[in-house]
Amino acid sequence: MDDALKILVLEDVAADAELMLRALQRGGVQCRARIVASEADFRRGLDESEPDIILSDFALPGFDGMSALRMARALRPDTPFLFVSGTIGEERAVETLKEGASDYVIKDSLQRLPAAVQKALEAQRLRAAKRETDEVLRESEARYRNIVKSVIECIITVDERQCIVVFNPAAESLFGYARAEMIGKPLGMLIPERYHARHVEHIRRFAATGQTSRAMGKYGLIHGLRANGEEFPIEATISQSGISPNKLFTVILRDISERMRVEQALRDYTGRLRLLSHRLFEAEENERRRLARELHDRVGQNVTALSLNLNLVRAELPADVLQKISARLNDCEGLLYSTAQLVRDVIVDLRPPGLDELGLVAALNEYARQVSSRGGLSTTVTGIEILPRLPPATEITLFRIAQEALNNIAKHAGATGVTLTVEAGPDTVVLTIADNGRGFDTAARPVRPTSSLGMVSMRERAESISGQLRVESSPGEGTRVIVEAPRANHSQLD
């Protein structure tokens, strides 16, 4: 069977397309490629070839990469789409990811292409598995609802001696006994023996309260016992009527085996989603760390070397020549300085050096200075470094929550100032991000976990370290995002 990937390549430069395919082959990715260069050919490729993955340049004559992405999302919504370009900038790259691109690779770094392709395909497989799980759970929940709707409640009535006086048809079906053989028999026949004493005491206490009804199982799950000896979990309500010695107790109960199975399936599914979320966060942090190191080691060193070379050129040039090109040299030095500053800002965004070397508060101060330097949002940090240091996963998670909150504030809050406060108790650490923006009425517009992708991300990150996130806000009073997490390590991200 042919295991080669079917790749649709949108590239108007044949040599560049060939370089992509060679990079994939060197990376161990076996593929069959269809190379197109126009909008019409790209559409035909989507219709005819059923590609496993799409690689596209960003800038094409008469047809841009974003249009290609939107067309692919419309015709092949599940097919991974990667930009391979030499012209895409950081802001446009982020925009492509928001529009649905799986990743982007710079043409000067094609050695990263095989890993990016494998990562995109793995993400697609995880999404497909999630859809299958969702469908199974939906079918299971539908079956459960149908069962609940069709079952007639089981009704059993006993006297003060706990002998059965009413045993309806639903009870016959549930327990496997005929009504005739159960009338006058002790209720204990329908309860596992180990629960007999507790059940008798429960009925006695209930009779003494004078209450007309109450739920059973308040202090633990209760079970029934079928005629064939099978135990099963039940949900029951008990009521009493009459006056002693003619008091009667009626139990309305239902078998909850299916519901418990579905609830367990949901818990398992939620656990799998959380594990997937943890792995995605971990992969994201590893990639951020790698990119920050690459920027520091390669770009940073090159900028430093260029600066030294300029100084050497300036020192060695004759005075008359230096005078003629002094303005140009000054311009070059200015460009180098701004480039070095941009690289530092990007490194802080990706993985602030202070986070690994000094701790959370140092990293927040470093990022706050960067945010403030951009203008429009004065950002301050209060608190001292926590010693002993928090677990690495807790530090990076709290930093990412602060980073996301500051981004949300800059976009939506209309604030001019933000204060980040770090407080540590014996067992917990609390991070508070408070702004002086317009705020909102949380009662009229409650903050739900699904209210925005930013909020979902912050909540999931908090839960990944066994923490809790809450939002407090009032109109005109600003907003406070508060994260409380244990100081001990409960995360799967280390």
Highest mean pLDDT: which range of 57-66, 272-281, 431-440: 431-440
pLDDT tens digits for 307-353?
788 888 878 888 887 788 888 888 887 887 778 777 777 766 666 76
DSSP code, position 108? G
Predicted local distance difference test score (pLDDT) of residue 147: 46
Count of C-beta atoms within a 10 Å radius of residue 370? 17
Predicted local distance difference test score (pLDDT) of residue 144: 40
pLDDT at 69 over 50: yes
pLDDT at 447 over 70: no
pLDDT tens digits for 389-439?
888 888 888 988 998 898 888 888 889 999 999 999 889 999 999 999 888
Residue 430 CA to residue 426 CA, distance in Å, equals 11
151: left (phi > 0), else alpha (psi -120 to 50), else beta? beta
Whether residue 9 contacts residue 34, with contact meaning beta carbons closer than 8 Å, is answered with yes
Q: How confident is the model at residue 141 (pLDDT cuts 50, 70, 90)?
A: low
The H or E element containing residue 180 is helix 179-182
Q: How confident is the model at residue 34 (pLDDT cuts 50, 70, 90)?
A: very high
Look up the CATH number of domain 5-129: 3.40.50.2300
Q: What is the largest CA-CA distance in the chain?
A: 121
> Lowest-confidence range among 143-152, 332-341, 374-383, 455-464?
143-152
Residue 367 CA to residue 269 CA, distance in Å, equals 37
pLDDT tens digits for 283-301?
766 676 677 666 666 776 7
Q: How many residues does the chain have?
A: 494
Look up the CATH number of domain 358-486: 3.30.565.10
What are the tokens at 28?
């161990």
Domain ranges of the chain: 5-129, 151-255, 280-350, 358-486
pLDDT at 237 over 70: yes
Predicted local distance difference test score (pLDDT) of residue 304: 78
The H or E element containing residue 65 is helix 65-75
Tokens 């317009």, located at residue: 438
Count of C-beta atoms within a 10 Å radius of residue 140? 15
For residue 415, give the nearest of 423, 405, 428, 424 by alpha carbon: 405
The stretches of 251-300 forming alpha helices (DSSP H) are: 257-294
Averaged pLDDT, 348-374 = 80
> Lowest-confidence range among 186-190, 195-199, 337-341, 449-453?
449-453
For residue 279, give the nearest of 121, 123, 71 by alpha carbon: 123
The average confidence (pLDDT) of the chain is 82
Look up the CATH number of domain 151-255: 3.30.450.20
Q: How confident is the model at residue 493 (pLDDT cuts 50, 70, 90)?
A: very low
Predicted local distance difference test score (pLDDT) of residue 367: 83
Predicted local distance difference test score (pLDDT) of residue 494: 46
Is 430 in a helix, a strand, or coil?
strand
Q: Alpha carbon of 379 to those of 287, 375, 409, 416: distances in Å?
A: 27, 10, 11, 9
Residue 218 CA to residue 227 CA, distance in Å, equals 26
